[in-house]
Structure 1
Amino acid sequence: MAIEMEVKFRMDADVWAAIKADYDREQTLHHVERQTNQYYDTSDRRLGALEVGLRLRVLEDRSILAIKRSTEQAHKRVEIEETYADGPDSLPPDSPALQALMQEVGIAYDDIAPLVMLRTERFIFEIEEQGVRAEVCFDDVSIVGRCREHKLYEIEFELLSGSEERLYHLVHAFKNRYGTSVEESSIPKLVYALNLVNCD
């Protein structure tokens, strides 16, 4: 179990592209990930009521099951991850983390169903400065709803190692540079997506 620390910014497509162009000129792109992120819950949203996110991220060479829980701090979440090299595209029923969650909540595997899917192209820059190593991720997200797709553009700063204070220094410099064209948000992608996918 780990504590994930990340700071997210949301913006429109033109601003996202302009900032990415700045990073392309000034930094070295580390790698690109194409992800399918399937979120799950029960029909009565029991996990959501507990502020628990259950996600399976499918990449080209692996899948990652993640269970995330909110904390009292806006930019931190408790995270459990399990990586599967064979890349399953549905929840692995023998997952120890999933089994523990089902026992805790009092649900069975068959109670869990797909909730919403996000397809993401993620451009990842790694920043290393004195006292901090962080990823800056540029996410071009398609939220797959029952009626149509919605777009989301996000830039995420995630602490990999080192000082939280130094990460906030990077974030502060970013906010000073881009001002009101970017909006800091502590709302998880799942919560944001659920507000968009209904047809009514």
Structure 2
Amino acid sequence: MAIEMEVKFRMTADTWAAIKADYDGEHALHHIERQTNQYYDTSDRRLGAKEIGLRLRVLEDRSILAVKRSTDEAHKRIEIEETYTDAPDRLPPESPALQALLGELGIQYDDIAPLVMLRTERFIYEIEEQGVKAEVCFDDVSIVGRCREHKLYEIEFELLSGREERLYQIVQAFKNQYGTTVEESSIPKLVYALNLVNCE
């Protein structure tokens, strides 16, 4: 179990592209990930009611199952991850993290169903300076719902190691530079996506 610390900003497509051009001029692109992120819940949203996110991220060479829980701090979440090198495209029933979650909540595996899918092209830059190592991820996201699809453009600063205070300084400099063209948000992608694709 780990504590994930990240600060997210959402913006328009044009602003995202302009800031990415700035980053391309100042930093080397570390790598690009193309992801399919499938979120799951029960039909009565028992996970969502407890602010738990259950996600399977499918990449080209692996899949990552993640269980995320909220904390009292806006930019921190408890996260359990399991990596599968055979890249399954559905929740692995033998997953220890999944079985522990189902047991805790009294839910059967067959009660869990796909909720919403996000397809993401992620451009990842790494920053390593003054006692901190962080990823800056530029996400071009397509949110796929039952009745329509939406776009989301996000930049995420995630602490990999080092001092939290230094990451906040980097984030503050970013906010000072781009001002009102970016919107800081502590709302998880799942919650944001559900608000967009809810067509009931």
**TM-score > 0.5, shorter chain as reference:** yes
Deviation at 1:120, TM superposition (A): 0.2
In structure 2, the partner of 1:108 is 108
Deviations 1:126-184 (A, max 9, x none): 00001100000000000001122100000000000000000001000000100110000
In structure 2, the partner of 1:30 is 30
Supply the distance in 2 between the matched residues of 1:198 and 1:180 (Cα, whole angstroms).
Answer: 28
In structure 2, the partner of 1:8 is 8
Deviations 1:57-107 (A, max 9, x none): 000000000000000000000000000000000000000000000000000
Secondary structure of the 2:196 match is coil
In structure 2, the partner of 1:99 is 99
RMSD of aligned Cα (Å): 0.6
For residues 40-189 of structure 1, the aligned pairs below 5 Å read: 40-189=40-189
TM-score by length of 2: 0.99
Aligned length, in residue pairs: 200
2:20 aligned with 1:20: yes
Supply the distance in 2 between the matched residues of 1:52 and 1:116 (Cα, whole angstroms).
Answer: 14
* Percent of aligned positions that are identical: 86
TM-score by length of 1: 0.99
Supply the distance in 2 between the matched residues of 1:131 and 1:100 (Cα, whole angstroms).
Answer: 36
